Structure 1
Amino acid sequence: MAKSKVLVVGGTGYIGRRIVRASLAEGHITYVLQRRELGLDIDKLQMLLSFKKQGARLIEGSFSDHQSLVDAVKQVDVVICTMSGVHFRSHNLLLQLKLVDAIKQAGNIKRFLPSEFGTDPARMGHALEPGRVTFDEKMTVRRAIEDAKIPYTYVVANCFAGYFAANLSQMETLLPPKEKLNIYGDGNVKVVYMDEDDVGLYTIKTIDDPRTLNKTLNIRPPENILSQRELVEKWEKLSGKELQKISISEKDWIASMKGLDLAGQVGVTHFYHFFYEGCLTNFEIGEEGEEASKLYPDVKYTRMDEYLKLYL
């Protein structure tokens, strides 16, 4: 069976660039949307040109020009959107509704993967304000996709290692703490840490797989299901240094939102759901979903002790 042609929207972003690379590596004809609003962003332009050198095809389009999106979509079989949904960079999730309209009009798309790649929003109807806006907006996009009867796969990738593992799950740094760190509650709630390149590969693996059609792909490989304390132990073993651990109660953690800007408040609520509530692991994957490492046992996913070695 011929491999699907892929359009990546948001290809210069944090996860988008990895999906572009994975798509090319897996042998897909890969298009990347080059937005007309690029302006003087030289870093994004040079990344797009580097994709072109690797064999990607750049296709111009704009969210302010519906027909340009329709024309782009008509060139491919699969659309993957990776627009940012985090408040400390940019938060554009509802722009995807314009992409849904374009896909609906084009009528040729075999699979659409909207910008998800985090927590499953379908399980977050109870989420705290203000962080719940991320989940609510993703559900708005999901409803639009399903109402338009567009074939889909939703990718739930849990905690990106660059943001949650390297820093031992601390909010205000991307590097491992040197002396002390916060432990959330007893630190024993299980979460899922994923290497971002592995997320890109698993995502591309799904696009021609009938087992993931109209389903949620949960990227939850067993050896990357770890508590915060287990992650810290791995780092201490690698570094040969024991860190001071400061346990923060659930009540104190929620209270820490006071005085923070919106991005900080959103971060606190998301950390609460991950590390106190256990929302990433406190459920069984049902008939509506599949687990990536079971579907694709050939993928040698990165374990966190291996990932952390980069930071020594």
Structure 2
Amino acid sequence: MVKSRVLVVGGTGYLGRRIVRTSIAEGHPTFVLRRPEICMDIEKVQMLLSFKEQGATLVEGSFGDHQSLVDAVKKVDVVISAISGVHVRSHHILLQLQLVDAIKEAGNMKRFLPSEFGTDPARMGHALAPGRETFDDKLVVRKAIEESNIPFTYISANCFMGYFVGGLCQPGKILPSTESVCMLGDGNVKAAYVDENDIAMYIIKTIDDHRTLNKTIYIRPPENILSQREVVMAWEQLIGKELKKTSISEQDFLSIIKELEYPQQAGYGHFYHIFYEGCLNNFEIDKGEEASELYPEVVYTRVNNLVMCNS
């Protein structure tokens, strides 16, 4: 089977760089959008050059130049957007509406994967502000995609391991302590964790798969559905020591959120929904919509493996 040509937008970002490398490794003709602002960042320029050395094609394009986006899109079959969604107040996600317009005009797209990759926004209408703004913006993009009849796949990848497991599921921490840990509530609410390189692999697997067309695909590997307490226990077993535990109640956590600066409120709000409400694991996934089930050949990273790497 001829593999689709892939354009990655946001290819120098945290997840984007992994998508680019995986696309190349899986044999897809891979294109990376080179935006003008990247030329001011030497590390990103060097990354783009490394992609080129690995076989990717760099394509000039800008969100401020519609025709450049159309020209870039016409070169490929699949567009994967990995632009950052963390800029809450700037509504960065809505830049993708310009991609939607370009894809619609180009008229050749087999699949568009917008920048989602976290919690399914369709399930987060109740989310706390300001974090809800990101979910709302993603739904605006979804609406534009579907109204334009653009073939799509939405990816819900749940918790990035690098951000959550390393810090034992504590907001603001990415490395585990050998002394203490703060439990969110009773620490028994289940979440789902996925290694970032595995996310990239599952993304690339979906793009030529008819089973994922016009669907939301959840990456929720069964062995990585764990509570915070279970993540902490894995770390304790590794270091041979029990951590001193404190806990913070749901009400106290909500009170803390109100006192934080605007950007932190969004991040802490996501932690609230994940570790107090259980928003990642409180619903059933329809058969054929979970990535590790669709692609059993992918040997995904287990939480225990990552914990060992952090020792």
Question: Is 1:186 the equivalent of 2:186?
Answer: yes
**Secondary structure at 1:133 match in 2:** helix
**Secondary structure at 1:112 match in 2:** strand
Aligned-residue offset at 1:285:
1.1
Which residue of 2 is the match for residue 277 of structure 1?
Answer: 277
Give the Cα–Cα distance (whole angstroms) in 2 for the partners of residues 301 and 164 of structure 1. Answer: 17
User: TM-score, normalised on structure 2?
Assistant: 0.97
1:129-278 to structure 2, matched below 5 A, reads 129-278=129-278
CA-to-aligned-CA distance 1:205-255 (integer Å, 9 cap, x gap)? 000000000001100010010000000000111111211111111100000
Which residue of 2 is the match for residue 60 of structure 1?
Answer: 60
| Structure 1: gaps of 5 or more residues | none
Contact 2:88 2:131 in 1 (8 A): no
Aligned-residue offset at 1:91:
5.6
User: TM-score, normalised on structure 1?
Assistant: 0.97
Aligned-residue offset at 1:286:
2.9
Give the Cα–Cα distance (whole angstroms) in 1 for the partners of residues 173 and 228 of structure 2. Answer: 16
CA-to-aligned-CA distance 1:256-298 (integer Å, 9 cap, x gap)? 01331111111111111000000001001137x7000110000
1:33-48 to structure 2, matched below 5 A, reads 33-48=33-48
Aligned-residue offset at 1:178:
2.8
Question: Is 1:125 the equivalent of 2:132?
Answer: no
Which residue of 2 is the match for residue 311 of structure 1?
Answer: 310
Give the Cα–Cα distance (whole angstroms) in 2 for the partners of residues 9 and 97 of structure 1. Answer: 13
Give the Cα–Cα distance (whole angstroms) in 1 for the partners of residues 163 and 235 of structure 2. Answer: 15
**Secondary structure at 1:201 match in 2:** helix
| Structure 2: gaps of 5 or more residues | none
Number of positions where the alignment pairs a residue of Structure 1 with one of Structure 2 = 311
Query: Which letter does structure 2 place at the counterpart of 1:45?
Result: V
**Secondary structure at 1:256 match in 2:** helix
CA-to-aligned-CA distance 1:101-154 (integer Å, 9 cap, x gap)? 000000000000000000000000111111101110100000000000000000
**Secondary structure at 2:281 match in 1:** coil
Deviates more, 1:35-44 or 1:5-14: 35-44
CA-to-aligned-CA distance 1:6-37 (integer Å, 9 cap, x gap)? 00000000000110011011100000000012
Give the Cα–Cα distance (whole angstroms) in 2 for the partners of residues 310 and 203 of structure 1. Answer: 24
Which residue of 1 is the match for residue 295 of structure 2?
Answer: 296
**Percentage of matched positions with identical amino acids:** 67
Give the ranges of 4+ consecutive aligned residues of structure 1 lying more than 3 Å apart after TM superposition: 87-91
Contact 2:6 2:77 in 1 (8 A): yes
CA-to-aligned-CA distance 1:75-114 (integer Å, 9 cap, x gap)? 0000000010114898610000000000000000000000
Give the Cα–Cα distance (whole angstroms) in 1 for the partners of residues 130 and 229 of structure 2. Answer: 27
